[in-house]
Amino acid sequence: MMPMSNEDLEPDQLDARLREVEERFVRQMRERGFEPAQAELVALPGSLARLYAEREALRADLEDLRAGPLEQRD
């Protein structure tokens, strides 16, 4: 079974997934001795970098979804 892409999720599902990833990211940052606010300022180890990227992608997808479809102009 293929994993669902973020585009296939409803806003509530995306929001729940974002919260889950955010919690894991914060927990793992603290386990490694970082403060979550440092995420933008330090080079993150691989697993944290992946969580950070997933978190940012979820945030962007959720923002796009909440903004609604854009009407095309001719």
Q: 32-58, pLDDT tens digit by residue?
A: 999 989 888 999 999 999 999 999 999
CA angle 63–40–27, rounded 5-degree value = 85
State the DSSP code for 69.
P
pLDDT at 1 over 60: no
Task: Indicate the pTM of the whole model.
Answer: 0.76
The CA–CA distances, whole Å, from 19 to 2, 27, 50, 62, 69 equal 22, 12, 15, 12, 24
